[in-house]
Structure 1
Amino acid sequence: MKTPALSCIALLLTATFASADWVMVQKVDTAGQPSEVTTKIKGEQARVDMGEKMTVIVGAEGITMLMHEQKMLMKMDPAALKSAAGMAGKMAGGPVAKPVATGQKEKVGEWETEIYTWESSMAKGRFWVAKNFPGYKELSAANDKLGKVVGGAMSSLSPQASDFDGMVVKSEMTMMGKNVVSLLVSAKEQDVDAKDFVPPAGYNEMKMPALPK
């Protein structure tokens, strides 16, 4: 479960959340394991489907991870996330650096991008940023609202959306010895059903493992 969980964390860190409804599709390669990831956004809720095996639902009540093959779910409430934030901050060993523009430019799909680099004591990465991406300012501002739930706990593992003056359409990250590459395929503003953020019936809840001291 470690590899899919790592992908979920990396994607949530670089995802954006908006007041409008959005659906984003990404191609993701985690340590040589390719998958297609769909992110559905409605207000201050987000759902990330990693293929057919795992889903992460994010909202004001915390994070719910769904493991579909086992029909199991795990929940992390705001208190647990706050504890994770403190632990991540200590492991990072100080303030998190901001991404740095390299001055290099490259076309990714239909987007002209500028490449940024970023590094902390726990992770490092490169980010391809499209500065003319429609709606990126709204997406980044809304992401900060959910930052109290997700970004606050994991801010030392990745830069936040608001650290970039554009949309991250491609990223390459190395985190805890694993390489995660993501590429944005599409991002469309469209209606998302509120039922998508309700865990399905018939799933057994598994207790979230205790965080290390």
Structure 2
Amino acid sequence: MKAIFHVLFISLLAYATAHADWVVVQKSTTDGQTSESTLQIKGDQTRMDQGKEMSVIANSTAGTSVMLMHAQKVMMKMDAESVKKLMARAGAALGGNQPAAAPTATGQKEKVGEYDCEIYTWTGALGTGKFWIAKDFPNFKDLNTAQDNLMNAMGNPAAALMPKASDFAGMAVKSELQIMGKTVTSELVSAKQDPVDEAVFTIPTDYQEMKVPGL
């Protein structure tokens, strides 16, 4: 259950929806292990591929999600009510409904790739963080607002314990977090408004369904 929650937790942090189609690629390193995730967004549909091992397909309007584990060819489905129950239990384990800690501008600036960034720090119930924020990132408000709305709608406990995307006047193109005993460094590889094929949100027919433990 702990491993499944960790995957769900990281996945929900990555979710975002927007009016335009988006393809967002991000590289993350957790305790020395590097992976790349690809987020494809089309309307209220989102697909996140974590390397070739795992994918999550979600519908923000319906509040449903399906986790696909490709090597085993199994899937776990959750409706909106099941997600909220799981996240409520996780929230209690994380310390309950505590006020969110706001990030603080340091006044420092640094270039990350092509973006001029302002550096923010954060200390909260889950840990500490450092964020590089690009204020000139195109259409960042759409992505930030949609991400916050979806996290709140799905009852994600991190929504009350982590900085909101809309707390930043720009796009987080890099972050360094110390969360729940894990060191996680993430950096945006690319974010493009490219057409996304509807077919990527189709659930495979040859995957066996497995129930989420504890639900």
SS of equivalent residue, structure 1 residue 208: coil
TM-score norm. by structure 1 comes to 0.88
Query: Following TM superposition, by how much is the alpha carbon of 1:174 offset from its aligned partner in structure 2, in angstroms?
Result: 2.1
SS of equivalent residue, structure 1 residue 48: strand
1:155 partnered with 2:159: yes
Match of 1:35 in 2: 35
Match of 1:77 in 2: 79
Match of 1:189 in 2: 193
Question: 1:58-207 residue pairs with structure 2 within 5 A?
Answer: 58-59=58-59, 60-90=62-92, 91-93=94-96, 94-150=98-154, 152-207=156-211
Cα pair 1:4 1:54 within 8 Å, conserved: no
The code of the aligned residue for 2:78 comes to M
- Cα distance in 1 between the residues matched to 2:208 and 2:19: 31
- Cα distance in 1 between the residues matched to 2:167 and 2:203: 32
| Shift in alpha-carbon separation, 1:209–1:3, aligned structure 2, 3 A | closer
Query: Following TM superposition, by how much is the alpha carbon of 1:62 offset from its aligned partner in structure 2, in angstroms?
Result: 1.9
| Shift in alpha-carbon separation, 1:112–1:120, aligned structure 2, 3 A | same
Cα pair 1:8 1:48 within 8 Å, conserved: no
Which consecutive residues of structure 2, in runs of 5 or more, have no partner in the other structure?
none
Cα pair 1:24 1:40 within 8 Å, conserved: yes
SS of equivalent residue, structure 2 residue 77: strand
Query: Following TM superposition, by how much is the alpha carbon of 1:89 offset from its aligned partner in structure 2, in angstroms?
Result: 4.1
- Cα distance in 2 between the residues matched to 1:200 and 1:209: 22
Query: Following TM superposition, by how much is the alpha carbon of 1:4 offset from its aligned partner in structure 2, in angstroms?
Result: 8.6
The code of the aligned residue for 2:50 comes to M
The code of the aligned residue for 2:19 comes to S
| Shift in alpha-carbon separation, 1:11–1:193, aligned structure 2, 3 A | same
- Cα distance in 2 between the residues matched to 1:79 and 1:199: 20
- Cα distance in 1 between the residues matched to 2:12 and 2:150: 10
TM-score norm. by structure 2 comes to 0.87
| Shift in alpha-carbon separation, 1:14–1:74, aligned structure 2, 3 A | closer
SS of equivalent residue, structure 1 residue 156: helix
| Shift in alpha-carbon separation, 1:206–1:15, aligned structure 2, 3 A | closer
Query: Following TM superposition, by how much is the alpha carbon of 1:106 offset from its aligned partner in structure 2, in angstroms?
Result: 1.0
Cα pair 1:98 1:163 within 8 Å, conserved: yes
- Cα distance in 1 between the residues matched to 2:158 and 2:106: 24
- Cα distance in 2 between the residues matched to 1:80 and 1:184: 31
Q: State the percentage of identical aligned residues.
A: 50
Which consecutive residues of structure 1, in runs of 5 or more, have no partner in the other structure?
none
SS of equivalent residue, structure 1 residue 147: helix
| Shift in alpha-carbon separation, 1:131–1:3, aligned structure 2, 3 A | farther
Cα pair 2:175 2:186 within 8 Å, conserved: yes
Match of 2:23 in 1: 23
Deviations 1:41-95 (A, max 9, x none): 1112211111100111121242211110011111222112222343344333421
